[in-house]
Structure 1
Amino acid sequence: MRTPLRSRSLRGAVASVAALAVLAACSTDESIDDPAPQAGEESASETEESGGGEEWFVQADFDEQDEQRSATFEGDPEQPWLQYIDGEMTDTADYTSNKAQKVCFANASISNPWRQTGWITMNQQLKVLQDEGVISEMETRDAQDDDNTQIADIDYFISEGNCDVFVISPNSTAAMTPAVERACETGKPVIVFDRGVETDCYTTFIHPIGGYAWGIDTANFLVENLEEGDKVVALRILPGVDVLETRWGAAKKIFEENGIEAVDYFTGADPTKIKGIITDELTKGDVAGVWMDAGDGAVAAIEAFEDQGVDYPVMTGEDEMSFLRKWEETGLTGLAPVYSNFQWRTPLLAVQKIVAGEEVPKEWVLPQTPITEDERADFLEANEGMPDGHYAKFGGEDLPGYPQVWQERQIP
């Protein structure tokens, strides 16, 4: 059986627990929440120019995700949270049950707006499945971005023995693997989503295509809109997080192959630091493009150009509303890559399929499609009234409580 894609991306390096603990994939925007500094942020923000990152790059994974960007997804495109790329399936006949299931969810955290948006959506999906008698309750333990806490959470669920299904969003990859394997040994279904682990004992592993796909989409967009020799400033949140490292690894490769001069900096998603970096680079000469591994700080980056009175760059951000709104306001040439937030619905819908005895994908790869300029207005209209930290492709429009629950950030 092949090694899970995310696990293979870690072959040459196991990052420090502190760095891996901070982010899933996306955001630390303080417009929604102002959490205490996370482990690893200070050292990351002190690192100005990073370079490197080659130890994270795996050509086979790059090639696979490049192909998956144009793959045909099974299922209804109106329900992308249920779509998947055809591949190995898990037989779930042994888990068939008419009894409402108790779900035990070991969550890495809800410490940033991307995770908060998904958590809200997940809980609204839970209400639907409770009303349908599929799930009796979901007991959740929040690890607050700490590996040891999440390991203890999983072991607590195992020792209590009251879980019908385990759902795990790992805080980090290597550290969480033994605990996930212990959950598998119970004989109960184990659903892993968002970040991977270094085992394939799970019933299904749910995730969007991945970091390489993000890097390919964004770097290709910049290359297509720039000239050879142009400078791009790459703004990176943190080192050591697999999906962020692979985003940059893919982009760096494409920039180098196309003669784009790219300099990268770790920012800690600090708007002041981002403005300073852009301002310093503009004093050295023209900056034609800005690449980001997440949307945090995109507005600050744009404002730095405004402060200097120079032309806007070609820029990639994210489907966070703050970037989409600033993009529209400025008219710059932009792209909003997506790390599909609607994936937070999928684990609970997988429970529904598993207890019905339906096959589920062993590796459940969800669509991951950027928002283009032609689509931006539609997403802005569809998400009117949502806060800046909301994610446009959250996929909860058909759930109870829409739109108020997301507008008011009613975090359970």
Structure 2
Amino acid sequence: MRRMHVVSAMVGAFALLTLAGCTTDPGVTAPTETTGSEETAAPSVEWFDQALFDKQDAERSVVPEGPDGKPYLQYINAEMVDTSQYKAEGAKKGCFANASISNPWRQTGWITMNEQLKALQESGAISELETRDAQDSDDTQIADIDYFINEGNCDFFVISPNSTAAMTPAVERACDTGLPVIVFDRGVQTDCPVTFIHPIGGFAWGIDTAEFLIDNLQEGDKVVALRILPGVDVLEQRWAAAEKLFDEAGIEAVDYFTGADPVEIKKIISDELAKGDVKGIWMDAGDGAVAAIEAFEDAGVDYPVMTGEDEMSFLRKWKETGLTGLAPVYSNFQWRTPLLAAQMIFAGEQVPQEWVLPQSPITAEEVDQYLAANDGMPDGHYAKFGGEDLPGYPTIWQERQIP
């Protein structure tokens, strides 16, 4: 059964949702099979956008505004919007249409969001957060949003879209209610929400990672790119940026969709190693990073130069092996920001229309710092989760208590 629940001070925890496969955006023609890009059908959407590439490239060096030590409330180059029309007293009910909690990044964020909710319930800002989990289905999430519009008795909407194009009309219907709509994580093709919250973005990730690999490799070296799924803007943009830079630098890059399946990742790497030297591994998400490293160990060859993510399993394997690595970050602390934004909106405070959060990779010089700060956390935890000041820290995250 699909999870539908109300998160409130009166409701107990639900069982962990099992990992589910991801669906693609119906507006995108997906590759025909999980093989290299040279053997698959090209997507029907052109994901590279030079203006957005340039914007995110510049934002990487901007010092964010906002309170020190609270990156989840910081913002970059914001255009603030007036929210005085929504100012109202009393605790408000939120309705959250979530794409899923089907991977460790989303599970970590979901835990953090619920701990933030407890703090806001205690302060009287939010009464409850009714949540419907779409389990990675566009059709389900569209139905969830329409349910909230018609039946949810909501004071505000929070939407983390499953995919970009398919979810846009449903988000617009939520906006048409006149209630505040907050979109975060993945984008949609409308500017009707009061605020769209996200880290700098996929192009910034792609630039950070590709430049790192290029700086540590030679022209003509081969990189294997491991991608989890097509059709999601932040993922497609990561690869679009990296592919551009690899091409310009003369790096041979082949890409594969893996579904974040460790068995598939090992097979892909093993097959590529059988063809010849693989000098670099690029990933658009850290799931399965350890499996990729283990494929090199199984083959008895030198470790690659590699980019993973700030998931603890990768950081620990990176430290253990001493490989040349970088942990790009798609700031997990963003899961706190939508509820804090709702509090600000109902207080009539200005919020950024596009709320761009800081997004800084973990470098080799910082690995020990983040390993120490997250000692005792499970492998699926994300180092830059930003919840250290919340009520359940550290136990809730250590025990992986997923509502």
Retained in 1: the 8 A contact 2:24–2:231?
no
Match of 2:289 among 281, 298, 306: 298
C-alpha distance in structure 2 between counterparts of 1:73 and 1:63, whole Å: 18
Residue 107 of structure 1 corresponds to 98
Q: Does 1:158 align with 2:149?
A: yes
Q: Where do residues 151-190 of structure 1 align in structure 2 (5 Å cutoff)?
A: 151-160=142-151, 162-190=153-181
SS in 2 for 1:127: helix
Q: Where do residues 179-328 of structure 1 align in structure 2 (5 Å cutoff)?
A: 179-328=170-319
Residue 50 of structure 1 corresponds to 37
Retained in 2: the 8 A contact 1:319–1:393?
yes
Residue 20 of structure 1 corresponds to none
Q: Where do residues 328-407 of structure 1 align in structure 2 (5 Å cutoff)?
A: 328-407=319-398
Which amino acid is 2:222 matched to? Answer: K
SS in 2 for 1:351: helix
C-alpha distance in structure 2 between counterparts of 1:137 and 1:34, whole Å: 24
SS in 1 for 2:166: helix
Which amino acid is 2:293 matched to? Answer: I
1:156: how far off? 1.8
Retained in 2: the 8 A contact 1:184–1:190?
yes
1:260: how far off? 1.0
C-alpha distance in structure 2 between counterparts of 1:233 and 1:227, whole Å: 15
TM-score with structure 2 setting the length: 0.90
Retained in 1: the 8 A contact 2:163–2:231?
no
339-348 or 233-242: which moved more?
233-242
Q: Does 1:68 align with 2:52?
A: no
Which amino acid is 1:212 matched to? Answer: F
Q: Does 1:135 align with 2:126?
A: yes
SS in 1 for 2:342: helix
C-alpha distance in structure 2 between counterparts of 1:164 and 1:249, whole Å: 38
Structure 2 residues without counterparts, runs of 5 or longer? 1-15
Which amino acid is 1:126 matched to? Answer: L
Retained in 2: the 8 A contact 1:45–1:267?
no
Which amino acid is 1:89 matched to? Answer: M
Q: Measured at CA, do residues 66 and 38 of structure 1 come closer, stay the same or move farther in structure 2, by a change above 3 Å?
A: closer
1:148: how far off? 2.1
Task: Describe the superposition over 1:258-286 as per-residue Cα deviations: whole angstroms up to 9, x where unpaired.
Answer: 11111112222222222222222222222
1:319: how far off? 0.5
Retained in 2: the 8 A contact 1:107–1:150?
yes
Structure 1 residues without counterparts, runs of 5 or longer? 1-31
1:216: how far off? 0.2
Residue 93 of structure 1 corresponds to 84
Residue 82 of structure 1 corresponds to 73
1:44: how far off? 6.1
| Aligned residue pair count | 380
Which amino acid is 2:99 matched to? Answer: A
1:45: how far off? 9.0
Residue 25 of structure 1 corresponds to none
SS in 2 for 1:175: coil
Which amino acid is 2:206 matched to? Answer: G
Supply the RMSD in Å over aligned alpha carbons: 1.8
Match of 1:37 among 12, 21, 28: 21
C-alpha distance in structure 1 between counterparts of 2:19 and 2:152, whole Å: 33
Question: Matched residues, percent identical?
Answer: 76
TM-score with structure 1 setting the length: 0.89
C-alpha distance in structure 2 between counterparts of 1:375 and 1:294, whole Å: 19
SS in 2 for 1:174: coil
Task: Describe the superposition over 1:1-36 as per-residue Cα deviations: whole angstroms up to 9, x where unpaired.
Answer: xxxxxxxxxxxxxxxxxxxxxxxxxxxxxxx97424
Task: Describe the superposition over 1:109-161 as per-residue Cα deviations: whole angstroms up to 9, x where unpaired.
Answer: 11111111101000000000111011111111111222222222222222236
Task: Describe the superposition over 1:303-362 as per-residue Cα deviations: whole angstroms up to 9, x where unpaired.
Answer: 111112211111000001110000000000000001111000000000111111110000
C-alpha distance in structure 2 between counterparts of 1:68 and 1:36, whole Å: 34
C-alpha distance in structure 2 between counterparts of 1:88 and 1:227, whole Å: 41
